[in-house]
Structure 1
């Protein structure tokens, strides 16, 4: 247990590897496994990969250190954390900013749970088909209000169950179980897909850069993908940082999280892009006449299942493994999103964790229900408001707080707790002004674009 700024005992991750896997699990989600490969397929393959890696280093990593530092400094929820680094007269503004972050995380989870529910349905469907429940299997893969409500509810219940168990017994325990399983499933599927006709063409597109397609639009896409894939701007890394031990080297730990997250995205590309070309080789239309991806939204729910069907009995097994992988990735992200408001409610309202988990999870589920019943307009509206507006704006503001508002001596003191040589390091010579000037400028470019 650690002591927060309020002098209260606070749970911590029991090990460094537990924190790294939990934080990486938060970052690893549908953005890595679904978003990154489709972005690469639409933006020159290997060229997009190189620019994406460049942006993770230039934008994602410095901001990841900043959010972790804010959380660990106060060892408290986002409201207390944001207020703690502000001057006394502006503490209220910091707390108000954190409230926006809590709402953003909750809104992201509200639509994320619906998407994850669909993935859960596609995972269960082939299992039902194997035992002869063909109609039920078809129902789980068919868009309907009833199906969406049931699957969203099941996924949210699983998320709430893990979060209510606490940091070490819930989030850390399940992250250290699920992340290795995720990697193993990836490797099994990659090994299988690479034996199929057409896979090498997809691998070549992913790894061989086509610099003729590099333009401002591609750079913007790569920058946005790097930012969103690391769960920045929604207070998730701030919360996880608050559970981190004081003796942890923040720049080093953040680098390990970023490397795992980026590695998973790279592995996802090794799976998804060859799988797309295998599907194309099996008669599934992937690209239009102009060479553009038909629809990234349909890739997971129509294109790949169509490919699995062409593989016969083996395709059924591959489908089960693939959607199990997708559900695990979604779950490791959803528990971090729910932890943001739950940790705040537990501390600010003095509620037991179990009560706040079910209460907050229930409120977010109600928002998900509202989206399901108004899917035609509300689904996209919530996605745009939370991920295209709120997250980039919060990212800019957090960068400005760390760079301009948080006293330099206080920031250095926090970083030195896990790295005594910090003041003389190259990192300290570059990072403070970089977060102060370069990161906000880059984030403003993403937002304005």
Structure 2
């Protein structure tokens, strides 16, 4: 049924920037060596299951626009047909990784036990597909937000039975991720937050979340899972106020519950924008706190003001994201997952392929620009020079606590210190970036 879903669509291969072939990479050459590693090794590209093979094309004002032969995937037969199409797409795009939620890949059962059986059966099917194609699992995760049982959250739900059901579901998803040699496990708290304070105990919900995450860490070590645990920040949608607002908020939560050395972050461009930040800000903040793990690459519509999950097409934005990723040493277990979806009028099978091919080329262009910025060193040297004064003896004493306020005030008075402002040269640095993008 689905073996011919992408019928007559060729494998996407690199043909160079002058190619006029619609079904070709112009900038992404997986074997091209940049800064000592191939592009494939640097970018670690992944395709997500949910937007591509589950989403029907609905929006708040209209219903399904996509027609897929595996819809509604409410049986194991249709779930396997969906997997056939998915792995065909991974092969066509020549991406090394994919990502999924449990609810993306198995039909919803009448009980937790049936859900688990369905997930394990499709995991066996995945294992065969992965061995056949060489496609690997970047990360797995549990959907703890779509079903009505989670309308008040999962880990933060006021009902301990929902907490327990969510915890058991995470356990089974971690088992499957471990069995499939997944390189990370992601926890996205889509409804871990609240709509109104009128019915919410903030202190209690924080305690619940902290215990939930500690149990996940404990189970990781119990089963010997070597991948990274990742939390994905988002400030709102679907919950009005979410507890994983941004990098800084999550860091505070991790410190509060003793988890800062156990969990890292999966950062999404669209979520950063919703939080009032740039993507590069969130990446740089995570790097500075030792929390950077992986990214979901997409973009938001800046006019609509909500999470539109569009495919990336802005090379300068992407270049800055990869610049700060490279500054921190690049990916280790993480990668570039395209958490992006077609527009609901893009209904043809080839639209799925072309959207990803274009996004991959944008990432390749941005990454190569970022690598050139790193190798050039102008931007990094400027920042180093700007803070060079802190290398002096007195500055070091102020910073490391060898001088208190009285001593500093005395030093300022006795030396008649009269500091003059120095230009931050923002426009100059923006011009430097434009040399590369």
Q: So what's the TM-score if we normalise by structure 1? A: 0.24
Structure whose residues are more often strand by fraction: 2
Larger radius of gyration: 2
Structure whose residues are more often helix by fraction: 1
